[in-house]
Structure 1
Amino acid sequence: MSQRSFGSPLIGRDDELGRLAAVLERARNGSGQAVLIAGDAGVGKTRLLDEVAARAAAAGAVVVTGHCVDLGDVGLPYLPFTEILGVLAGDGRFGDVLAAHPVVERLLGAGPDSARDADARLRLFEGVAGLFGELAATAPLLLVLEDLHWADQSSRDLLRFLLSRGVLPRRFAVLASYRADDLHRRHPLRPLLAELVRLPGVERLEVRRLADAEVTRLVRSLEERPLSEATVRDIVERAEGNAFYTEELVAAAGTDGMPTGLADLLLIRVEQLSETAQQVLRTAAVAGRRVGHDLLRDAVGLPEEELESALREAVGRQLLVAGDGDTYAFRHALAREAVYGDLLPGQRARLHGTYARLLAARGGGAETAAERAHHYRESHDLPEALAASLEAADHARRVGAPAEELRQLETALDLWTAVPCEARPTGEGLDPVSLTLRASAAAAHSGDAHRAVSLTRAALAGTGQDADPELAARVRYTLAGNLMTVDNLAAAFAYSSEALAMIPAEPPSRTWVWAAATHVMAARQIGDDDTALRVARQALEVAERIGATAARADLLISLARLEGGGRRTREGRERLREARELARSAGDTPVEMRALFSLAIGCFESGELRECLPWITEGLDRARRAGLMSSPYALEMRYLRLLVLYTLGQWDECVRVARADPAPGFAEGPVLYIALARGEPDVEDRARVLLGEPFDWMGTFVGGIVLTDAAGLRGDAEGAVARARDAVAVLSDELGRAPHVTVRLAALALAAVADRAAAERRGGGNAERWTGVSGELVELARATAAGQGPEGQAWLARAEAEWIRAASGPDIVAWEKAAAAFTDGDVYEAARVRLRYAEALAADGRRAEAGEQARSVRETAAALRAAPLLERAEALLRRSAAESSASPLTARERDVLRLLALGRSNRQIGEELFITGKTASVHVSNILAKLGAASRTEAVAIAYRERLITPEPTAQG
């Protein structure tokens, strides 16, 4: 592969070069490596990459480069990878390898139409990954991606796929650069970078600004004529360590009134060219960072000899550089931006129009549609821009790029009203409502549920009184489905009701069946199971009659929840298996994924955790093949997979899977649970991020659990109770029904309350003030645990035991019951409960049994590396050992003795310890016997002497 020529020396980059050389060496000798190279515009990222690429090529590596391009609101799907594959396809050495991976032809415009192929996106990703792996097997392969901050979402998705496959191919390296100063808070590259840097084999390198001494060396190496020391100092001061700015300042040195801005400096360089060269440069700037020779020639309208002379002049002045495939590129994006920004509005519009017409005349087809749409819009040719945007949307769908399809459809919708009726395209689905519905589906497929809702609402607003009833119904049930995704349940039910009422059940139609299926889901979500069951049975009969296979599958999934014991039973899961097969035969991947998720969650709810994993694996594999890894069911399955591993105590595997397949937001919740249990820093900050805008139900679910538990672990009972209450309030539905997670939140808050109450009792404080709070929390737990499976019942048993502990101290029977409930469930929570059980046993003097339980907890905590739990178990073992050797009294007897020392009667002792006066009397008798005391007073004296208790502090007046 030819490399771009460069004339400026590379100064001050020894550290960066050394680090990248080490990365390439590790890739050559082991698994692949990737480096994300960050730096401000002009700091020297491209020059550094050129040097590294040249050295790699000289050492025998295959080096291919792909560029991301800034085309404003136009997305070019997979642009840098298309460029890379085009270069490989043009090199005869790689013909056989490319032939072995024909799927990549889709990116080069030679593949079949895959708009209806649910597996196309994954096959494309696998094909690209396989191609790079095979190339790397024949020779070291260096993939360079420039200007990642301009990458389209599909390219970002493909990069994520390549880097998150666990281990990159041997002898394969990826270097990807981006402008750090361009990444505003909501830039779409930010979350991807956060995911990638956590992967094994991926690291980040920041290209720093040059030090003043290095800038001075660069100035001296660039000067073609002697510069005074004052001029050099001025350049160094003004360049602020930016290499490109330094070069431009050196080039402008000596001119009258040297400008202060970089753009003005660049324009001075341009104005030093001949008028013809300036014309070529301005024309090239409208094409973008890179332009082909033939296209530039036709756009500028110059004879070949004049064009070549002008190009030679621009290249000689280091404004353009010659690239692969008879193309020219601006040496730096900042130069192109300066030239483009200096064009008059009329010049821009005219040149954009020229490029649009040239691209259309060349018959580029769908592959150039997005580019044509951009040029037509900038030239204000709105009818052609509309047509090209719709063509680009079709192309994005064919290549499996839903985010780019969405952008093009939204652009088309913006243009629709501005284009005269007679100039608009016509045909099926070419109306604002249908296009908006299609855009909402693209938003849902790209994982933007809230955008899907707003687009469907826009479609609803566009349906007037004279709208086709079937289309109007479809809009409403689509909106209902999207609203359920964002947990707006009451509104979903209202819209699904409207949809069902708009079209008759007879004669039967697929639209009515789908409206009914959506209404069943909405009714079940708001608790109207009678309506859901009635409509589901009626719709299932109609679906069978008209052969609506996918809808029939969807209805079977709903019925599995509504009839009998639900999806936790074998009968329910048999229905779900039937639904899965029907959805698969109909080619309806979303319904198939719903069936697979239901099978997985049914196993989880019934406590069959290991049986859950195969269904999750199948579901995620299906989602990958369909390119739906960001869809709601896929995200919930990714969360569930990690949750099962967490629950089974396979924590290292859970973290490994999360790193290998990073998921956004709540889906990594179990990793947060592990981080909290292991005492890692910043866990609460990471959890708070999940509570931000826009509201996400599952994110709030995960964040509520983590923050409630974290408050309890640090002894903040008030904070734990507040967090639990807040989470329950936000997660409750419109009817005020608390979610199932309430029992867990209540139990975690009760643990903090019980700890505080116990501390109050030990210190002689007011433990009774927690009675009302603990009572409220246990009632919440009881109300929401009803009807839940083994997990919910285990959390209820724990809540009950914590409630008793808060009221009167540890109760052996309650903790024994809780420990038994967690036996086949959550390994970590079972250990936490067993520790409470051990504490209860120790308080009753049953130290041998307490030690056995505590040692078991210690073993589990050590295996999980749950340091805080390990410390508590070891502390209990030390305390029990010390008490066994130093005191003949049980913990309860020591509590009674402390109150004896304060002069309390048996009745008063019973009231303070929440036991009967008779029980208090028995404890007093046992104390007298064990201490050999004849009276209560003597027992207290012996206790002070033997240091079994210490005197209470007296108030200072």
Structure 2
Amino acid sequence: MAHGRSDRFRPPRRAAGSLERRQLVARVLAGLDGQIVLVQAPAGYGKTELLSSGFESLRSAGEQVVWLTADTRNGAAFANELAQAAGFTDLAADPGLSLDRILDALVAIPAPRVTIFLDGFARDYEGLASLLAALPDKLRVVVSMRATPSAPLSRFRMRGLLAEIGADDLAFARNEMRHLCGSLAPGDLETLQLATRGWPALVKLIVPRLAGAIDPHERSRLLSGLHGDIRTFLREEILSGWTADIRELLLAAAILDEIHPAFACRLAGLDETRAAERLEALYPIVAPLAERPGWFLLHPLVRGVLALDLPAALVKTRHSQAAALFASDGQIVKAVHHAGKAEDFGFAANTIRAAGGVDLFLRAGYTVLRRLLDGLPPSVVHASPGLRLCAALVMAKEGQIRAAREALDELKGLTGEDAEAELPEQVLVHIDCLFDAYEDRHLGDEQIDWLEARLRSYRLKDTWERGWLHNHLCIAHTRRGGLRQARIHAVKALDCYREEGAAYAQTFMLIHLALVNLLGGRLAAAATYARQAEDLVQRTQWTDENLLAIARIPMAEILYRQGHVRAADAMLAEALPIVSRGEGWVDVYTRGFVTFARCRYRLGGVEAALRVADDARDVAEDRGLPRLRLVADILRVETLTSALMLSPAREAAAALPDPERDEGWPARRQQRDGQVTLARLRLRGGDAAGARADLLAFLAGAREEDDALSGLTAQILLAEAAFSCGDAEAARLHLERATQLAKPQDLLEPFVFEGEPFRETVRGMVRRWGLSAFEQDSAAFLNRILATGEDGGLRPREGLLSVREADVLSLLAQGLSNKEIARELGVTEATAKFHLKNLFAKLGASRRTMAVSLARAMGLLGGAPETHIAHAGD
């Protein structure tokens, strides 16, 4: 900003409508408790406005303040300029004035302290380093600069005398953007935030133009840095201050999505020495990538302006050079991307083939393969059998499984040297098995025998081949209900993939292990594997939203089964739509949709749950997945039964296969789930004896741990059925067995899911025998279950005791007498004694202290214990 000489000794006027940034002003003032405040950022970040606000705040408070705006034309006269700014006209007229003399004059001012505001100083401005080095204790300095000063600051930092405010602090935060852009649509606001990164001057330039009636082309120009006003600001205030070598370096970087200093220097023909330091000094124009140490990103709007200065021929040449550089470094995705930009599709195709083609996907992930193919014309892909197989895999991962299968079958029929070279037999077999898993077919005993025979044909050192065979065996055993075998194969596959260093494949095996342990009721182990999977995705596959969504499906079910309904619902609401568009793995769908429907039932009622069941059926129809369609039908029966809508539940149940015959059930797990669901319908319909017989037969057919969750539900329903049949002792035994199964894993949900009929069963048992009929830890667990609300929150007054009994117990624990309890409750002493008698009977206690002690042991006093397996915030 240009200033007249007198204007340089006072702050400029603030622009009308300027945003008040009180927190930043407070930081400046707090920083003055040290001695130096450095405000450093590129042009247009509001440094002058901030210093001006601080200046006015101190002056209004009666403090002595001095303002000096830098004069780049006359840096040698710093002492004289400072004297003039402080009002020492006699000293300022002395051409030989030293810095020490003006500092002594400032110290002599009769005030507790004097604060000097130095605005717009260059990093090597004459006199600034000397001022900071000789700064007396009484003086405070606030200085703004576009670059880090050359003056040494370390000793001030070590002594706690320096406060620093940088570009990140000055950039507009999201709430400030929202205040400035109140008329913009939320989508435009998000786009503006990404484009400007909160750069105040750019935001102020763009917002009024973006809010106007502009066409889409004009909007695009604004948000890409191509608009004339944006270009003018960046050229005048930013680009003009760069040295020639920095400009050449960033011109080369303008073609790169992500900048590596060495590669950028090679493209620009510059010396690589200290390239990283030079880029770091340009922050925030160039920002480090948090997830990729040593790599940087160029500000998108600056990149857009720089790109205008590159001739088309040079752009093409540099893309070609970048492709060769990245290929030589083994960075295949970047090499292919730049080869596509250079229109060198032959190089791109050869690079993919040389890197392993489809094997690259199996090791590196779907998003890698998709990005490789994005820039290639269909003709180039079709000319290569390997690329055609890659394209088929992308189609399968994006839900087009039928088209992918057709493409694979066509490729199997190809013959010739090129086809055999690009489509090794073991790769075709692997992809064939993968598509089988997506189509949920060929996963029976015959396929398991074939996979095991093939596994025996490989040597121990063939870790990749053995890994994917164990992987497919895990899928097959999971489908048929053999969870122990599935877990063994998943662990072996994970070991193989770890030996290969294939993070993408490891992630899937961790997800498999989470699901298998979850189905077996081993929630602690499932949570551990799910967290490991999510952590691995975020470290190695952070751009793959589909993989992250898959990893969150088992974690959501773990949260739900432990009573964290809202957390599970929120996680699935985000993850399931992504998974529905991408992954074709049926077990992920079944667990996700079933858990989501149960969450929605608890939070939104029967209609919300039925909509989820309908969504599951739609995905089943789109993908041709009969097992998922059957799961959706079972889910519909379950939901209607829980809502006691028995007539429509029976109609829906009529569409299910015969539960006693294997025909019509594609997998044993769905058959077992169907048997429990139909038994519940029978029980809710009043046929307790029939339901009891069905459930006893179900448990008699249980196999090891494979029916852990459905077996637990069967025990819970049997307790209710036996109690309804008048067999109270059998009901108590079933309930005790269920609690012993559930407690170690903190499995609340299977009990809470059964709703009021289960609650009445438990309360009936307590009325009959009292709480002494249960182990103390079982009583505490049951109290938590009954006190858990529909949303998963605790309602302590709805546990095993009545509301009045809970009140009496609380007062008893406080040591109140019968008369005092009666007075607190507003009842007669006789009524208080009546409630105490009932309470003692339930607890099996004969004395007051004994009653309090037993109640505390049973969890009837105070909050319920927290689970240590999975937390809602994880």
Q: TM-score, normalised by structure 1?
A: 0.45
Higher relative contact order (CA 8 A, sep 6+): 1
TM-score by length of 2: 0.48
